[in-house]
Structures are given as C-alpha cells and as structure tokens.
Structure 1
C-alpha cells in the first residue's frame, strides 16, 4: 500500500479512527491516540500533499508504460511465430504498476488457452486388448511392476511388486480359471496359465513391510508324479563268479541263455504306481 510510505501515516490513521485498537499488528496506546489527535491538522496537510504527489507520479508512470507498451507491440508485430512473440513479452522488463499486471494476466490467459489446445490435439491412447480373437488371455504388464511367478506341483504363486505406499483401495485382483488380473490404479497386469486354477481356494495377501502382493492359486488338477517300483521276486540270484585257471577265466556254472528273459508279459514288473 503506497499510503504506508507517507510520513506520519500511523499518527494520521490513529487520529482519524479513534475507535481503532490495533494497527499493523501493533497495539495502539492511549497516549499515542492523544498525541496524534493534537497534531492531526499538521499530519493531514502532509498526507494530502503526499497524495497529490503520488497522483502526479502515477500519471507520469501511465505515460511511460503506454509508450513502452506501444513500442513492444510494434516489435512483436514483426514476429510471425506465436511462441517467439510470447517469449519477447516475458523477456521484456516492465514497471510494477496496475497496467503491467493487466498485461501479464492477459498473456497468462493466452498461454493457458494454447496449452489447452495442445492437450486436445494429443492422440487418443490405444485401447488395451486383453484377449486374443480365439479367447486366449494375453500377458500384460501396463504398470511395469516387477513380478515373480512360481509354478509349483500343486499351485501357482505370483509375487507382484506393488508400490509400497499405494493404498490398497487402488488395487483390484481378479482370479479366473486360466488367468489372473490385477488392476493397479487403472493399469492392468494380467498373466495367463497353462493349467486350470481352482478359483474357490485362491487367496491374496499383501505385505505390510514391502507392500508386495502375493497371490496363491491352487491348481484344479494337480499333476501326479510318476514313480517306479520294481516287483518283488522270490527267485534267488546265483552269483556265478569266474575263476582263473591256467591263466584263463572259466565260469563255475553254465548259463541258460534261452531263459534269461521270459516271453510271458505277466512276469514284467509294474512300472506305474
């Protein structure tokens, strides 16, 4: 406020407004009011003179600002590029006055309108396709989160690196028979599986320390391990060790070559448990 720069401004206000108790965050004392009231006529003359001087300065300032504005507009008219014209305006020094503030608001508005036009001209984002034409779900990672998928014997375990400080209300988990989908603030993470999932027993947990998401999905038809178990035989195995005689190896007993393998299928050991 230019009035604050006038001499005896405080005394003049206290004398003019006797009901005032505080001025400029300072308490007004009764002695100050009495002293200001005594010299009110002197203070009034000083304030009126300063106000007249201020009006003269403002008139001169208006003329200077108008001349600079006209000169700036002539220079900007010679520039064809709109961005260069705006840069010319913002790089030009100006006085601190109401006229300058009005011009600043005007060019601020032009800049906002230009930015809004650019935003409207932005290309439309492509639509995310979640499934192939045949119905097979795609694998997607729009939020670009780290993940770890474990294919266990009886279940799938998915660990998704969700942001630590993300609110849980921003997460949506959908477990289907052959895929799992996690929506993180509207961005889709989707993973398909080769085996069918038991969706009724699937569970979702989130770590309170790291914020990671753990999705456990049991398999509907767990793979069975094939084990080999030989059939017990009551026949005793004769270990025919060769003996050395006259520098030659000789068998202790004769070997029946024809009956080494039986032709009957019933004698084969059971391989599948």
Structure 2
C-alpha cells in the first residue's frame, strides 16, 4: 500500500525550495496512492492539488484546506462526493472516470459559494437519465458541467423539472447501489472459490477485463451490461499453458466496471512489471571477500592501480600510483598491523604485509610532483646491524670492486695492477710554500730564488729608533 509521506511531498515541492508549510501547488499523480491523508496538516496553504491516476477510494482529510481552489481526482476509485464542505474556496472539482454512482451526493457541494466547475464524465451516475438537469438544479452556483457551459435557459428549465426528475434519479441510483452491493459480495467470494479449485485462478469479476479499458493502464471507456457478465464462473488456466498464454487469457476475460477490478488490473500490471524488471536485471556479482575464514587478509586491487610494496631493515614502504589530479578527499588510508588498505573513489586496494608494523608511527604522504601516495610503516621488530668502521668499509668496497673486475675479465687477457703506495713522477706536494715562510728576494732569472747574506753593521753605526727600517 502506497501512502503519502513527507519525503514524497518534499520531492514534489522543488519549486518551493522544499518548503511544504507554504506550499500552494503540488502534483502527486501516478503514484499508486491508496489513501488521501496528511496534506491538510502539512500544507495548510494549498490551492491546487493534483491526485489523478491513483487508487484513492474516498475523499477525506481535506476539510482544513480553506484556500484550496482546485482538486483533480480523475482516474481514481471514488464512489461518493463527500467531505468537501470545509473547502470554502473550492472552485473546480475533477472526478473524471471514477465510480460515483450516488448522484445525490452532489448536494454536499451546494453551500460552496465559490464553486463553479464540476467534471463527472466516465462515472456511472453520468449515465442516469436527466443526470445533467439534476446536477444543474441542485447546484445553483455551478457554471460549467463536464466542460459545457450552463446557459440561463437550461438552468431555469432544470429548476422547474427538478420535482419530476428527482424520483427518476433516486430510482436509478437505488438500482445501481443494489448492483454495486452484489458486485462487492461476489468479489469477496471469488478468492475462496479460487482456493477450492486448487489454483491461483480468479473470477472474471475480479480479473479485470481489458476489452473495456484503454491500453492496459487501468482506464475504462465502456461499461458491460449486467446480463452479459458471466456469473459464478472461474478462469481455468491450465498448468500446461505458458506464461504468455496465461497473460493473454487474463486480458481476454470480461469483467464488470468496479473498483475491485481496477485494483486487480493494477496488481496484475505491477506483477508483470516486476517479473520483467527481474528478467532484465543484470546478474549480480557475488560479494567480494577481503578476508579468509581464518582471518588472513587477501590481496585485492579493485581500482586496478599500479603500486610498489618494498621493505628494508626498518620500514615497509607502499607507493600507490594515484592519479596526479585526484582530490585527496577521495582517498582513504587504513593501516593495520598485518595489512594496509587504500580506498580510491570507493574501490579498495588491500595488501597483506610481510610482517607486523606499527600502526601509530605509520605515515601517509602525497607527492606534490607525481601525486603518488607513499605510506611508510615502521616494523615492530626492525633488523639491527652493527656499524662498520671507515677502514672496514673501504676494505669491503675494494674487495667488491676487485671481484667485479675479475668477473668482467676476458680469458687470455691480463690487466696491469698498480701499487697505490709506490709513487711514480714528481712530488708536487711541496711546490706551494706556506704563508709563514720568509720572503726571499728574486734573482734576475724569473722563477728562481737566491739566498742573500745579511751584512754586518759598521763600527760607528748608531741605531736610532725614530728612523723606520728599510724594506
């Protein structure tokens, strides 16, 4: 059963910014609604209400809508005009193709001063003799009936004939109400008859005839006479028939024009649609498992991205080739002691780690150049190695280099080995003198120095301290 919900009303009020308290117009057509409710509490300012092509059997819960001007209830299961006396602003009521057979119920609209237009086309009461005259005489404020304007002369004639035609209307109405009661009784007995026969067949009165409806959408355009309707007959569908043949038999059976048959047609169409949708639905893939039964994590790469998982003595490193321009908000990283999980746009990359890591000290960084995601996870038990001295390191390096030379050596060829301790050539270490060395005068030859002996002072030389020394 489809009910009117607040979410449904809000979705239909986008033009009012999802505000339903101030909503003035709403369309709830073709929603398979089976009861009219809640709108008088949520939308008190409502002026226009569209409810056509539903399964509403009764007009109710609209008396508080004082501003309501137009309500469309065409193609529903309404059998009586009622509960509209409080809609003091109502101008137009559309009940096209319903099941209104109690024509005297139009008197409930008599006190609506603003009421101007009424549609009752396609209802059983519209087939009554003097139907139009009776409605015109009963509703003096009405100006349009079934799309035709009411003329003054027509109104005067209808008012004069009302005492005479009222008896005919009541007689036809009572005849229809008796027929309707019999249809309800037969409809209530049909499911039991189907059970007694041991199959899921239904009575023609309940199956919903498609000869008197349009294109299978639940719209009826003609009526079946009572004498043409088979009584106490069941549709016997052989179990050997295919599904298509059973569907054809269902549509070929005649039925009366009742709310029950319309609901039966609706349920049948709904069932066919569900079967068709189920048939055309793609095969659902089995749910992916991320862990074995014993709790061991699986390696999963749903986004199909390139990655590199390496380890050293201290850390386990993961480099994920994330798209450079992907927003970081689309990434999620989860490091666990035995596995790491990276979520990219809802798709999971999960890798089992070679050994247990520290979750608290793990780091995840995004490269600003390539956009890659680099996750560094320290090991719980890192490998500790002793530090080598500089001499041992050089010796090890020379040993490795010598081994590489021997591997590259071609048979029949020998290489000259040079002792690094034996010097060949001039020693250029002492070419440059230190700054503390005394400056010696140059000789005449460029680039050569000579030593000059210091001359002794003469006997009469007096050293005057005020005289500066010669350079």
TM-score (norm 2): 0.29
Q: Which has the higher contact order (CA 8 A, sep 6+)?
A: 1
Instruction: Name the structure where helix makes up a greater proportion of residues.
Output: 1
Instruction: Name the structure where strand makes up a greater proportion of residues.
Output: 1
Higher Rg of the two aligned structures: 2
